[in-house]
Structure 1
Amino acid sequence: MKKILIVDDEKNMRWAIKKALQKQNYKILEGANGLEAVEVFREEDPDLVLMDLKMPIMDGLEALTEIKEINREIPVIMITAHGTVESAIEAMKLGALDYISKPFDVEELKVVIEKALHVGALQEEINFLREELEKNTGKTIIGNSPEIKEILGIVERVANTPATVLILGESGTGKEVIANAIHYSSQRCQKPYIKVNCGAIPENLIESELFGHEKGAFTGASARKIGKFEKAHGGTILLDEIGELDLPMQVKLLRVLQEKEFERVGGSEKVKVDIRVIAATNRDLYKMVQEERFREDLYYRLNVIPIEIPPLRERKGDIPLLINYFLEKFSNEVGRKNMKIDEAAREKMVNYHWRGNIRELENVIERMIILAQDNIITKKNLPYEIGEEEKRELSYSLPKEGVNIEELERELILQALERTEYNQTRAAQLLGMTRHTLLYRMDKHEIKKK
């Protein structure tokens, strides 16, 4: 049963409203002034407040302010007399949902109350979903190693600041998870959170994707498009794989970070934005700066708060926790509960190099759960590469006479391309790099594309 608090200094008015609502299955609470309203609100936690503006001891505006401090989501409808509409508007600025003027029609009152209760129910659902999202976001940060504890400490300290964050780490280490934690722990958590994979957007479209375009800006631009930066206004934008941006685009991005404004492609109007920028990359940006492939000024603009995530092989203590987490997750998802991994298999997994980091571990566990015939995963269920890693590691031993690293790199790229029939994406995966990096190194070694 929904509880409605009626607040009016006129006893007859409270009685009339109560009588009008008696068939609506509401529990009616009463208060004769603003002070009583606040006291009843604290004790009863009603679902809606219907409150007069003009009252002795404490008026409606003051009571509204105190009630909103207790629960800012509660729907409040103000009752106004003739000539007090301006005060009702002031009340709405303070958080009132609606107002109704005396004398009012009973049916009109019922409709206003029903709408307000519906808004309150929707807000409760939104709050529940947001809490669930925040809980789920927190759960994905698994680990109790000193490195992870230090990173989580940084996240906690920087979340509510406007500082730009640069997250560094190999592919699969969880850079996006850390970015999520920063956004959902910040005061911008209820605002837009826009993610952009800079390496997945073709160079000729990246400017339009980030900043939008005007109608007729280029062939095919049949309407105005709002870009990612504009959509992120008030919130956070994650620029993943920031190292893949070409130099002209880096210049434009630097200007946005400095000026907090930009122009859509084909337009002249300045679009101002308030955004928090988080960038992430698996590239060595400092080395790219030295090689003049990344702008130094942009690097320092992004590198205000650096967070470096170590590879999984450097924090082996977190591997058992991650194994347990993914084991439970995928066991529930595929309907194979009570799955276990025996100690011999666990030891192999803990000591494995995990070149693909957490992402590789996650994929391996999902595959084993699906394919295992029994409820216990043993060494025989492990992928070949995990069981044979020790043998393969010996093939990378440095010869006594040394090597020419440039020639070795060129030879490995050629082997990867030949093995994949010159499929650049698959070859890049074999080499543990992005396709853009592979293309850059192919040009460097004068390897022709087929």
Structure 2
Amino acid sequence: MRHGRSVIHVAVTRATSRYTGDAMATPTVPGRILLVDDDPAIRESLAAALDPTRYVLVSAADGASALAVAEGFSPEVVLLDLGLPDIQGLDLIPRLRELDELAGIVVLTATSEISVVVRAMRLGADNFLAKPVSLETLNDVLGRTLIARRRDRQLRALVARAAGPDAPVLIGPSRPMRRVVDLIHQVADTDATVLLEGESGTGKGLAAEMIHRASARAEGPFLDMNCAGLSPTLLESELFGHEKGAFTDAQQAKPGLLEIASGGTVFLDEIGEMPLEVQSKLLKVLESRRFRRVGGIRDISTNVRLIAATNRDLKDALQDGTFREDLYYRLNVFAINIPPLRHRADDILELAHHFLGELNRTMGTRVEGFEPAASDILKHYYWPGNVRELRNVVERAVILVRQGQIRSHHLPADLLKPSRTGAAAAVRPLAESEAEHVTHALEVTGGNIKRAAELLDISRTTLYNKIKAHKIRVAD
């Protein structure tokens, strides 16, 4: 329901807010605000009046649009007008709560009836503002709601990081995985850009989420995007956002991941597939923390941490000219190599049992474990699809068994082929064993080349050559 342009008055001279909480003391982490109001004059006036260093504002004209926007934008606070053309604003409150129970909801309305206020609060609204409202009052309420909800998210994140069953974790007692987890913990509490390297299915996305959840940005957004298979135009729009009319289908302005995730982390998977024209713009973000939306003329600042991942050797991409050298060195501040599952034989059964317990809970099954013959097949299979393939194999077996134990015949035929199992499959290539042996020597000696060479009974020159050949990262 439209109330007319004179109903809400937002001061264009921006009164100074009395609110001085720490959420407002961090202008580099703007709050994500969704305004739901069918009056375009109100949407335009608030967009012009709210300080962009404090808030990223996205608008919706009706309830359906609000729900669609909220699902992708993940607003921290919703400014909700109760008179909407397609749904009562009060009925929208519980639906917004279903999408995000920690989002703040501030009701804006022309009525001051106490019964409406009480019902809104009972449905989950945090505050209530009667129109007209000054910018000073709005800033105060937005600030208080934002900091309260951020504290709730921080508490939730801390609990999850400590003991939550859904907290991301890389499973495995093997030495290579212990090394990966140690590196994650070392880099998490910094803002360094991280490059995760490893084959598809090794858990690079999980490692990225672990870094985010263990960092000071844990209460901020964690947004991910796969760079493969997207056209340069679409990839650029998703990453940087676009202005209204920037291209044919740009019916309204849209913030990109780098804007929405300010204060949090953006994870770019398969970074090696990013087109060169987008690489140059990403380089600017890493250098200046500023960018422009597609079709925009205004620089936007962002406070985002970038984690990238690749399943290919980016140095090969440098050689063939498909990846920028300057971007590579900007990304490669702290590289972590996630080893393939075939190099982590000690992890296979522990991972399989972890997936089994997870699937029993979600599927309501009662599978007790693996018979020895089935365990032996799992342990000696080559796992070209890595951890992802192992999880799929366990899920298939659980569907077949439902209760009892998983036997050999419950496993896919590929795992039973002689070429894939048995003693021959357990023999690893010499180069792989050598790389792990050299890495272990460097770990034992704390990266001391002289002592590691002595342990390996080779010269320092030979050790340097092996480090270079196997692309082993030496701790400083």
Superposed pair shares fold, TM > 0.5: yes
SS at structure 1 position matched to 2:306: strand
Q: For the structure 1 residues 244 and 215, does the alpha-carbon distance in structure 2 shift closer, same or farther, using more than 3 Å as the test?
A: same
How many Å separate the matches in 1 of 2:148 and 2:246? 44
1:15-70 per-residue CA deviation (whole Å, 9 max, x = no partner) reads xxxxxxxxxxxxxxxxxxxxxxxxxxxxxxxxxxxxxxxxxxxxxxxxx99xxxxx
Q: CA RMSD in A?
A: 3.1
Alignment partners' CA distance in 1, 2:359 and 2:231: 34
Give how far 1:283 is off: 1.2
Q: Secondary structure in 1 aligned to 2:224?
A: strand
2:275 — aligned with what?
246
Distance 1:237 1:373 in 2: 39
Structure 1 match to 2:244: 215
Partner of 2:308: 279
Contact kept in structure 2, 1:331 and 1:339, CA below 8 Å? no
Give how far 1:327 is off: 1.1
**2:171–2:350 Cα contact (<8 Å) kept:** yes
1:121-174 Cα deviation digits (max 9, x unpaired): 988965664345433454531011111111111111111111100000001000
SS of equivalent residue, structure 2 residue 238: helix
> Normalized against structure 1, the TM-score is what?
0.59
2:181 to 147, 152, 173: 152
For 2:421 and 2:369, locate their aligned partners in 1 and report how far apart those are by CA, in whole Å.
28
Corresponding position of 2:382: 353
What pairs with 1:143-292 in structure 2 (closer than 5 Å)?
A: 143-292=172-321
Q: Which has the larger radius of gyration?
A: 1
* Cα-to-partner distance string for 1:285-310 (whole Å, 9 max, x where unaligned): 11111111111111110000000001
Deviations 1:321-377 (A, max 9, x none): 101101111122222224221011101100000000000000000000101265111
What residue identity is the alignment partner of 1:321?
Answer: E
> In the alignment, is the contact (CA less than 8 A) between 1:137 and 1:181 conserved in 2?
no
Query: 1:167 is paired with a residue of what secondary structure?
Result: strand
Tell me: CA distance 1:374–1:224, structure 2 relative to 1, closer, same or farther (3 Å): closer
Does the Cα contact within 8 Å between 1:339 and 1:369 map onto a contact in 2? Answer: no
Q: Confirm or deny: 8 A CA contact 1:137 1:180 kept in the other structure.
A: no
Partner of 1:307: 336
2:395 to 366, 373, 383: 366
In the alignment, the residues of structure 2 paired with residue 272 and residue 299 of structure 1 have an alpha-carbon distance, to the nearest angstrom, of 22
Query: Per-residue CA shift, 1:54-97, capped at 9, x if unaligned?
Result: xxxxxxxxxx99xxxxxxxxxxxxxxxxxxxxxxxxxxxxxxxx
Contact 2:271 2:308 in 1 (8 A): yes
Aligned pairs, number: 287
Distance between the aligned counterparts of 1:385 and 1:322, measured in 2? 19
Shift of 1:193: 1.3
Please give the residue correspondences for 1:363-402 in structure 2 after superposition, counting only pairs within 5 Å. Answer: 363-372=392-401, 375-390=404-419
What TM-score results when the alignment is normalised by the length of structure 2? 0.56
* Partner Cα separation in structure 1 for residue 337 and residue 274 of structure 2: 20
Gap regions ≥5 residues in structure 2: 1-20, 23-113, 128-144, 425-476
CA distance in 1, matches of 2:245, 2:286: 27
- Describe the SS at the equivalent of 2:364: coil
Cα distance in 1 for residues equivalent to 2:171 and 2:421 = 29
Assess, with a 3 A threshold, how the Cα gap between structure 1 residues 191 and 320 changes in structure 2: closer, same or farther.
same
Would you say the 8 A contact 1:331–1:338 is kept in 2?
Answer: yes
> Which residue identity lines up with residue 312 of structure 1 in the other structure?
L
Distance 1:235 1:277 in 2: 9
Out of 139-148 and 361-370, give the one that drifted further: 139-148
> C-alpha deviations, 1:389-441, integer Å up to 9, x for none?
516999xxxxxxxxxxxxxxxxxxxxxxxxxxxxxxxxxxxxxxxxxxxxxxx
